[in-house]
Amino acid sequence: MSGLLFLSGCSSLPSSGPTESQFINAQKDPKKNKLGFGIVQISSDLLTILASDSPTPLSTLDKVTDRPTSNDMIGPGDIIQISIYEIGNGLFGGGGSNASGTSIAATMASGSATPQSTGSILSSGGAAQDQQASVKAILSNLPPLNVSADGTVTVPYAGTLHVAGRTVDQTAAMVRQALAKKSQAPQVVVRVVQSVTNSAIVYGNVTRPGRVLLTPTRERLMDVIALAQGSSHPPEDSVIQLTRGNHVARVAMSVPENDPSQNIAIHPGDRIEVIYKPRTFTVFGATGKVSEVPFTVPELSLSEAIARTGGPLDQQSDPNGIFLLRYEDNDVVRRLGLPVAEGKPVTPIVYQIDMMNPGNYFLGQHFVMRDKDMLYYSNAKANNFYKLFALISTIVQPGITAGYMAR
């Protein structure tokens, strides 16, 4: 009877957390394990499986688009410039007297320009003097035109033209066709002065948030972030969230920085948010202090995390029962041979490392910590016995001392 009372006294003493056996028993008990977590021993095979796991790749968005991806497309809100070359007394040149037109022949005659600098001029060969004598070309730059909300612009003598969804070359051809019966061999050049359509939005933890104009060179993700003067924090502590239409991908900035295949081309209309998210892990159980610990380095191993927290307490913890708790991707959980949480992309997993096995110290050097991991040092089985013994000694010792002094 006294033995049972002794054991019941041990179990009722306060503790910083469960022992190794209590952890394992809770995993097997459906009433206690309602989350369905599994326990996995850290091994070389486990490290191989975890090493093959990769975050959601940005490259999957390459095939996703909700609009044309050409970077010279015209759209509502854009401002375009139209230049028209005409021969002789054209619609816009007025025989060279129009203020908006410049006589190319006159310019060439003055020696202030060369044929190359004046644009395309109809000629069949010969010297510049022959060209000026036979051909008089007028260059007219129309005032900048703002593309309306319905995607149209009004061009003199050509009328109202729908340019939204067309490239600059297609728009130039449309204007040229509209003027063909009113002007002698008109040549049209269109360029985008200010573009809303061919741009991406960059915001968040960047120095210059705002709209970034995309060019036909097809800027990539890290190019656009660099144009916004990037993040002042380490890439491992910065997260990129790329929104394209109804699709969202979120990865650490170090992913596209280290893997060129993930540094994808940016499409017009993309939204890029740079988020400062410092990585931390938490420590519980038989440790000197329950705390939240920042990584402060690009990559942190389990061995380094244990050392950084001072490790398990010799007089209180069980080195056989060091646990790391995290939510693991279901693809990894299936490869571990464990059931996955229904209707959820992740499943809680508990990784156990036995620090009494010297070989596990080497494995701990290659087990990579992740953001929001939880490290737990289990209590030693004998810990409650020593607590109860200390409690009994505290109660009995004064009586023993008093009896000794009464002699």
Say what the pLDDT of residue 54 is: 67
Say what the pLDDT of residue 136 is: 64
41 phi and psi angles, rounded to 5 deg: -75, 135
Retrieve residue 58's tokens.
């940005």
The CB density around residue 179, as the number of other CB atoms within 10 Å, is 23
What's the CA gap between 267 and 105, in Å, rounded? 43
The CB density around residue 64, as the number of other CB atoms within 10 Å, is 12
What's the CA gap between 39 and 41, in Å, rounded? 7
Is residue 321 helix, strand or coil? strand
Output DSSP code: residue 30. T
Longest dimension (CA), the chain: 139
Say what the pLDDT of residue 24 is: 87
What's the CA gap between 109 and 128, in Å, rounded? 8
Q: Please list the pLDDT of the chain residue by residue as tens digits (407 residues).
A: 444 343 444 444 445 578 888 888 898 888 888 888 999 999 999 999 998 876 667 877 777 665 555 667 898 999 999 999 888 766 776 543 343 455 444 444 444 433 333 333 333 344 444 444 455 668 888 999 999 999 999 999 899 999 998 989 999 999 999 998 888 788 999 998 888 888 999 999 999 999 998 888 889 999 999 999 988 788 889 999 999 988 888 888 988 988 888 999 999 889 999 999 999 999 998 887 889 999 988 889 999 999 998 888 877 788 888 999 999 999 999 999 999 988 888 999 999 999 888 999 999 999 999 999 999 998 876 544 444 334 444 554 554 555 555 55
Q: Give this prediction's pTM.
A: 0.64
Q: Which of 171, 169, 181, 184 is nearest to 137 (CA)?
A: 184
Say what the pLDDT of residue 7 is: 41
CA dihedral 380, 382, 388, 389 (to 10 degrees): -130
What's the CA gap between 407 and 402, in Å, rounded? 9
Say what the pLDDT of residue 86 is: 84
Spell 250-282 as b/e; 16+ CB within 10 A means b.
Answer: ebbbbbbbeeeebbbbbbbbbebbbeebebbbe
Element (H, E) at 282: strand 280-285
Is residue 56 helix, strand or coil? coil
